[in-house]
């Protein structure tokens, strides 16, 4: 999800306040918060409710099409910003060189050698391809109907076929159902599993309560998504839903509270779910996909993840050069891991990463590590010889992926490599333990 640059500089700004609230599930009342915090929260909440009530738009989620034509918006609702006239139709010299080398880039079996084409090669799109994949996913889906509510959901059994098709991309028509199936299946295996209907009952109670994080949430909401038709109207539409979801989430996940990196995650989910569905999915991601550990007190989980990434990088020339330049993952990968690449990759590429992460992310952060390595692979030819300034410029710059299919092929290659090395280490550990 596209965001402003101001948002990237303060991802961790709220870490000191994380964990200060107490959730309703622990029988908290408003009296546990200082009076000034309660008043500030109520005033902020009124801003999001008042204009919508007066305009008859309380349902929220309405799109703002003022001064915007349909041709100026992409399929996901993002407003297309045209290039300046002097840049139109003028590919960069780097892009021209890579186009000439394209047959060489696509020939090697080693995916890492193909990675530069992720950025500079745009494949020929085939309009019928998505329709064909929708049929295949419909055949895999198992329809389920709740006897009490008559709600229809779809279950996807984890098979090799499902994994293979998920790496190729979930059709947009099936993405919401597939994500829900993947995360709910993981959540049901946990002892502290809370059914969807219980979370639905908790949501309006959270909305009625003040949160100590409302002031920061209110600051972050308008700058989280600045180019989407659903989030462009202040205190209305998607901004209202985003505030409410983050408000409720900060109360439910009281040990974490709210940190700015959560906002683009919730905004991405609101493109596929209503506000309660988004609230439930956000909880599922944090409780089943290790984000709770990444956002935990002191961000110790994030530091552990960076240590795993650093070990992998030390095996490569890229990592050795970055280490010589004293460029640690904390300088460039914080926004990658905490926001699932929302600040660094195009929206469609983010979705493709989420497809795989939501399916395979039960045990560890292997998919996220693989995505980070794929980005680094795409910069390999320049990072291995870069100085500090040029390396940091590349690592912190938005990566405009032109070929998401190839990006995911490299990611799959990296992910399988991580799994193989993990199995070797695990096997050696068991042998050493047996000797002892």
pLDDT digits (tens, 9 = 90+) for 102-147: 343 443 456 666 666 676 666 555 566 788 899 999 999 999 998 8
Q: Looking at residues 149-153, what average pLDDT do you find?
A: 87
Pair (312, 256) in one structural domain: no
Pair (391, 332) in one structural domain: yes
Q: What is the pLDDT of residue 156?
A: 96
The secondary structure of 326-370, three-state, reads CCCHHHCCHHHHHCCCCCCCCHHHHHHHHHHHHHHCCCCCHHHHH
Examine residue 11 and state whether it is found in any structural domain, yes or no: no
Q: Looking at residues 26-40, what average pLDDT do you find?
A: 72
Examine residue 122 and state whether it is found in any structural domain, yes or no: no
Q: What is the pLDDT of residue 13?
A: 47
Is-contact 386 103, C-beta < 8 A? no
Supply the angle between the helices 275-288 and 237-252 in degrees, to the nearest 10.
Answer: 40
Nearest-CA neighbor of 211 among 239, 246, 238?
246
Q: What is the pLDDT of residue 273?
A: 95
Pair (348, 226) in one structural domain: no
- What is the rounded average pLDDT for all residues in the chain? 82
Given a cut of 70, whether residue 289 has pLDDT beyond it is: yes
Q: Looking at residues 391-411, what average pLDDT do you find?
A: 92
Highest mean pLDDT: which range of 53-57, 83-87, 393-397:
393-397
Give the pLDDT band of residue 56 (cuts 50, 70, 90).
Answer: low
Query: How many CB atoms lie under 10 A from the CB of residue 180?
Result: 22
Examine residue 373 and state whether it is found in any structural domain, yes or no: yes
Q: What is the pLDDT of residue 82?
A: 66
Q: What is the pLDDT of residue 89?
A: 44
- Higher-confidence residue of 85 and 249: namely 249
Is-contact 359 182, C-beta < 8 A? yes
Boundaries of domain holding 390: 299-435
Counts of helices then strands in the chain (DSSP H, E): 23, 2
Pair (278, 313) in one structural domain: no
Tell me the CATH number at 347.
1.10.472.80
CB neighbours of 111 closer than 8 A, spacing ≥ 6?
A: 377, 409, 410, 412, 413, 414
Both tokens assigned to 254: 């009281």
Pair (246, 372) in one structural domain: no
Number of structural domains (the chain) is 2
Termini Cα distance of the chain = 51
Lowest mean pLDDT among 25-39, 196-210, 322-336: 25-39
Pair (223, 309) in one structural domain: no
Given a cut of 50, whether residue 54 has pLDDT beyond it is: yes
Q: What is the pLDDT of residue 421?
A: 86
Give the pLDDT band of residue 227 (cuts 50, 70, 90).
Answer: confident
Give the pLDDT band of residue 86 (cuts 50, 70, 90).
Answer: very low
Final residue belonging to a domain, choices 288, 320, 354? 288
Given a cut of 50, whether residue 87 has pLDDT beyond it is: no
Supply the angle between the helices 404-435 and 347-360 in degrees, to the nearest 10.
Answer: 30
Q: What is the pLDDT of residue 52?
A: 63
**Residue located via tokens 């005033």:** 43
Pair (194, 313) in one structural domain: no
Examine residue 5 and state whether it is found in any structural domain, yes or no: no
Is-contact 133 169, C-beta < 8 A? yes
Q: What is the pLDDT of residues 298-348, one digit of tens each?
A: 899 999 999 999 999 999 999 999 999 999 999 999 999 999 999 899 999
Q: Looking at residues 398-410, what average pLDDT do you find?
A: 91
- Higher-confidence residue of 282 and 3: namely 282
Q: Looking at residues 31-58, what average pLDDT do you find?
A: 79
Q: What is the pLDDT of residue 70?
A: 78
Examine residue 270 and state whether it is found in any structural domain, yes or no: yes
Q: Looking at residues 251-276, what average pLDDT do you find?
A: 94
Q: What is the pLDDT of residue 178?
A: 97
Q: In terms of DSSP bridges, do strands 142-145 and 152-155 run parallel, antiparallel, or are they unpaired?
A: antiparallel
What whole-number distance in Å separates Cα of residue 262 and Cα of residue 278? 12
What whole-number distance in Å separates Cα of residue 382 and Cα of residue 322? 12
Q: What is the pLDDT of residue 67?
A: 74
Q: What is the pLDDT of residue 146?
A: 85
Q: What is the pLDDT of residue 18?
A: 45
Q: What is the pLDDT of residues 369-380, one digit of tens each?
A: 999 999 999 998
Examine residue 87 and state whether it is found in any structural domain, yes or no: no
Lowest mean pLDDT among 110-114, 217-221, 273-277: 110-114
Pair (278, 418) in one structural domain: no
Q: What is the pLDDT of residue 136?
A: 94
Lowest mean pLDDT among 14-18, 187-191, 272-276, 323-327: 14-18
Pair (269, 311) in one structural domain: no
Tell me the CATH number at 248.
1.10.8.270
Pair (361, 280) in one structural domain: no
Examine residue 126 and state whether it is found in any structural domain, yes or no: no
Q: What is the pLDDT of residue 145?
A: 92
Pair (260, 366) in one structural domain: no
Pair (279, 308) in one structural domain: no
């Amino acid at each position: 999800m596209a965001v402003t640059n101001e948002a990237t500089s303060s991802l961790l700004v709220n870490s000191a306040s994380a964990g200060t609230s107490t959730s309703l599930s622990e029988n908290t009342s408003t009296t546990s918060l200082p009076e000034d915090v309660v008043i500030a929260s109520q005033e902020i909440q009124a801003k999001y409710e008042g204009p919508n009530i007066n305009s008859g738009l309380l349902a929220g989620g309405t799109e703002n099409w003022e001064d915007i034509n349909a041709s100026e918006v992409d399929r996901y609702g993002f407003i297309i910003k045209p290039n300046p006239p002097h840049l139109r139709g003028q590919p960069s010299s780097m892009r021209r060189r890579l186009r000439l080398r394209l047959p060489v880039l696509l020939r090697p079996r080693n995916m890492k050698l193909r990675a530069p084409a992720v950025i500079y090669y745009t494949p020929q799109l085939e309009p019928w391809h998505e329709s064909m994949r929708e049929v295949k996913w419909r055949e895999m889906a198992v329809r389920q109907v709740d006897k009490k509510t008559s709600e229809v959901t779809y279950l996807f059994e984890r098979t090799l076929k499902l994994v293979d098709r998920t790496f190729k991309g979930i059709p947009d028509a099936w993405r919401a159902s597939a994500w829900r199936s993947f995360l709910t299946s993981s959540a049901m295996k946990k002892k502290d599993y809370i059914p969807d209907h219980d979370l639905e009952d908790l949501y309006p109670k959270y909305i009625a309560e003040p949160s100590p994080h409302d002031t920061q949430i209110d600051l972050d909401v308008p700058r989280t998504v600045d180019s989407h038709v659903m989030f462009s109207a202040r205190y209305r539409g998607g901004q209202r839903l985003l505030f409410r979801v983050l408000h409720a989430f900060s109360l439910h996940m009281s040990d974490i509270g709210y940190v700015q990196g959560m906002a683009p995650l919730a905004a991405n989910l609101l493109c596929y779910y209503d506000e309660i569905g988004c609230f439930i999915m956000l909880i599922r991601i944090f409780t089943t996909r290790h984000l709770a550990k990444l956002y935990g007190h002191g961000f110790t989980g994030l530091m552990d993840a960076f240590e795993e990434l650093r070990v992998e990088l030390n095996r490569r020339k890229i990592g050795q050069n970055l280490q010589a330049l004293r460029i640690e993952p904390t300088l460039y990968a914080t926004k990658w891991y905490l926001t699932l690449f929302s600040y660094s990759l195009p929206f469609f590429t983010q979705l493709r990463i989420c497809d795989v992460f939501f399916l395979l992310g039960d045990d560890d952060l292997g998919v996220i590590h693989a995505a980070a390595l794929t980005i680094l692979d795409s910069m390999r030819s320049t990072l291995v010889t870069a100085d500090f300034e040029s390396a940091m410029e590349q690592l912190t710059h938005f990566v405009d992926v032109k070929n998401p299919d190839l990006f995911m092929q490299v990611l799959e290659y990296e992910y399988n490599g991580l799994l193989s090395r993990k199995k070797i280490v695990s096997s050696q550990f068991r042998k050493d333990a047996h000797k002892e």
